[in-house]
Amino acid sequence: MHPTYALMADPMPKKRVLVVDDNPVVRSFVRRLFELEADFQLSGEAENARDGIEKARNLNPDLIILDLSMPDMTGLATAPLLRKLLPETRIILFTVHEDPELERFASAAGIDAVVSKYQAASELVVQARALMASREQPDHSKIRNAS
Amino acid sequence: MIDPDISSTRDIKYPDWQREFEAALRERDPKVLRQRVDAAEAAIFLRLQSLANGPNEHAEQEAISNALRTLRTFQREKLGYPDWNKK
For domain A13-136, give the CATH number. 3.40.50.2300
By CB atoms closer than 10 A (0-12, 13-18, 19+), residue B73 is: exposed
Is there a domain that residue B69 lies in? yes
Is A79 at the interface with chain B, CB within 8 A?
no
Q: How far apart are CA B65 and CA A77, in angstroms?
A: 24
Convert the pLDDT of each residue in A31-64 to its tens digit.
999 999 999 999 999 999 999 999 999 999 999 9
Positive or negative torsion for Cα B44, B45, B49, B52: positive
Q: How far apart are CA B15 and CA A116, in angstroms?
A: 23
Contact at CB, A76 and B84, closer than 8 angstroms: yes
Is A108 at the interface with chain B, CB within 8 A?
no
pLDDT band at B50 (very low <50, low <70, confident <90, very high): very high
Is A107 at the interface with chain B, CB within 8 A?
no
Nearest to A69 among B49, B53, B75 (CB): B75
Q: What's the complex ipTM?
A: 0.83
State the pTM of this model: 0.86
Q: How many domains does chain B have?
A: 1
Whether the CB-CB separation of A95 and A70 falls below 8 Å is answered with no
Section B70-77 average pLDDT: 94
Identify the domain containing residue B60 by its residue range.
Answer: 13-77
Q: Which phi and psi angles does A16 have, rounded to 5°?
A: -90, 130
